[in-house]
């Protein structure tokens, strides 16, 4: 996707509508607990302001179910963004309507306006397929999007975390702005560069590490990556479906019995293609999943009444050894029940091994979620080539899916 970026258009004296991903975690008091997504949007934001543009920012936060909910307000984001920019960020209590229209119209070059959560309107999340089949839904979605489109001269998509969605602010607004510049921001540009390199120009040996709970979530990723990688390391609960398919005992571990045949088929496909699939050789197991519970380490076979909760120490060493010669690494998903200590040790060990691979010159790309959290816990954020801001989006990208909301933006000559 060779798309024009915000650097390719003249923003001087123009109003720029920028869709960002400010879906930040908040505590029960409405305080932001991690501002990483705001910080990563700063390069695009600052570029517009430094080049004389007036900036209208839009985002979602959480799942407010199509109606206003103070628990999901973007007001804390406006406050934090003001602190980071060293200037006031104006805030509008809605993203459409007379007040939003008036505030956008009054905006001067160098000023920033943050609109309220776009998901406070049900029109934002109307599926495009549903809108095509139902004229009333189409009219609702179009009318909502048109109000945002009419605010600006330039559209910028810098929200990779929702790039796989056909939400109104992601897909319909740029459609409404046909004939005006429609570009990507620097964050989306970086995501496409790194994830694109994984699929199109991988350095070898290329190793993928996949974890998480369900094989069903990663089937298409595995199928697509088997065409690209040299080896795949599989941990997390999804590994138990593969182990059971191979005839191993997995006790009460999480398993998708409906996907046993598919798991065996993927192992057979890997063998046919000469690709190495590495599964756990030992496991940390417990009788139940909760803090401060008793646990032990067993081999490949898990006793009845025990649950696999993490990869074992031998597997951690094995996985690390499989990364020693890697020139490219992509990692998505935890190796165990990461949120419960000490069942985060496998994930932390993989995080350390990926960071060490980076230090040896490997290009390393990590999906969001628990993988990124493990790196943050260990202070290894800066030891990775690229940490994606979009967990679901990065997975769909690795599946080989196209993103309609990016495809319709302006191509580089």
**pLDDT tens digits, 353-379:** 999 999 999 999 998 777 887 888 888
CB within 8 Å of 325: residues ≥ 6 apart: 205
Can 37 be counted among the known catalytic residues?
Answer: yes
The catalytic position among 79, 138, 214, 252 is 214
110 is a catalytic site residue: no
* DSSP secondary structure letters along 170-238: IIIHHHHTTTS-EEE-HHHHHHHHHHHHHHHS--SSEEEEE-SS-HHHHHHHHHHHTTT-SEEEE-STH
Contact 20, 41 (CB under 8 A): yes
Mean pLDDT of 326-351: 94
Specify whether 236 is catalytic. no
Record the tokens describing residue 337, joined without a space: 């029940």
* Token representation of residue 394: 């990065």
Burial of 68 (0-12, 13-18, 19+ CB in 10 A): middle
Strand-pair partners of 210? 234, 332
Where along the chain do its domains lie? 6-188, 202-398
Per DSSP, the residues of 327-390 read SEEEEES-SS-TTSTTTTHHHHHHHHHHHHHHHTT-EEEE-STHHHHHHHHTT-GGGSSEE-S-
Fold of 202-398: Rossmann fold (3.40.50)
Cα–Cα distance for residue pair 330/208, rounded to 1 Å: 5
Task: Return the higher-pLDDT residue of 247 and 200.
Answer: 247
Which residue among 110, 265, 392, 400 is the active-site one? 392
Task: State pLDDT tens for residues 73-100.
Answer: 999 999 999 999 999 999 999 999 999 9
Give percent of the chain above pLDDT 70: 100
Rounded Cα gap, residues 45 and 301, in angstroms? 53
Residue 65 has pLDDT above 60, yes or no: yes
Cα gap 198→329, rounded to integer Å: 8
Least confident span in 46-55, 115-124, 356-365, 379-388 = 379-388
Q: Point out the catalytic residue in the list 235, 236, 336, 369.
A: 369
Does the fold of domain 202-398 match that of domain 6-188?
A: yes
Phi and psi angles of residue 75, each rounded to the nearest 5 degrees, phi first: -55, -45
- For 6-188, CATH gives 3.40.50.1260
pLDDT above 70 for 1: no
Residue from 37, 218, 244, 316 carrying the catalytic annotation: 37
Which residues, including other chains, have CB under 8 Å from residue 364's CB and lie 6 or more apart? 328, 329, 330, 331, 354, 355, 357, 358, 384, 385, 386
Tell me, yes or no, if 369 is annotated catalytic: yes
| Alpha-carbon span 2 to 377, nearest angstrom | 35
């Amino acid at each position: 996707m060779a798309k024009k970026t915000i650097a390719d258009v003249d923003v001087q004296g123009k109003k720029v509508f920028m869709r960002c991903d400010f879906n930040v975690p908040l505590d029960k008091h409405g305080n932001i607990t991690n501002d990483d997504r705001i910080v990563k949007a700063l390069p695009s934001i600052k570029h517009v302001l430094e080049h004389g543009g007036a900036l209208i920012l839009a985002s979602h936060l959480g799942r407010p179910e199509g109606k206003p909910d103070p628990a999901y307000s973007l007001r804390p984001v406006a406050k934090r963004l003001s602190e980071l920019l060293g200037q006031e960020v104006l805030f509008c209590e809605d993203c459409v309507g007379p007040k939003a229209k008036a505030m956008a119209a009054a905006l001067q070059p160098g000023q920033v306006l943050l609109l309220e959560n776009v998901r406070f309107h049900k029109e934002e999340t109307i599926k495009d397929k549903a809108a095509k089949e139902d004229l009333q839904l189409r009219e609702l979605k179009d009318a909502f999007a048109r109000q945002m489109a009419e605010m600006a001269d330039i559209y910028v998509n810098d929200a990779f975390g929702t790039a796989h969605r056909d939400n109104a602010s992601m897909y319909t607004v740029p459609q409404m702005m046909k004939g005006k510049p429609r570009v990507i921001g620097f964050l989306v540009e970086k995501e496409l560069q790194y994830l694109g390199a994984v699929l199109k120009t991988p350095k070898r040996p290329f190793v993928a590490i996949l974890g998480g709970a369900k094989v069903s979530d990663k089937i298409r990723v595995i199928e697509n990556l088997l065409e690209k990688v040299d080896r795949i390391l599989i941990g997390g609960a999804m590994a138990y479906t593969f182990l059971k398919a191979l005839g191993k005992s997995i006790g009460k571990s999480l398993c998708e019995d409906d996907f046993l045949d598919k798991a065996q088929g993927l192992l057979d496909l890997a063998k046919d293609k000469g690709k190495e699939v590495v599964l756990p050789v030992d496991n940390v197991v417990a009788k139940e999943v909760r803090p401060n519970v008793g646990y032990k380490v067993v081999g490949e076979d898990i006793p009845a009444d025990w649950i696999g909760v993490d990869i074992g120490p031998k597997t951690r060493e094995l996985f690390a050894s499989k990364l020693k010669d890697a020139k490219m690494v992509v990692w998505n998903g935890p190796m165990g029940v990461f949120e419960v200590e000490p069942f985060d040790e496998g994930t932390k060990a993989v995080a350390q091994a990926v960071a060490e691979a980076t230090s040896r010159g490997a290009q390393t790309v990590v999906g969001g979620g628990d993988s990124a959290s493990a790196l943050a816990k260990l202070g290894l954020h800066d030891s990775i080539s690229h940490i994606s801001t979009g967990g679901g989006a990065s997975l769909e990208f690795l599946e080989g899916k196209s993103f309609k909301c990016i495809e319709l933006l302006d191509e580089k000559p």
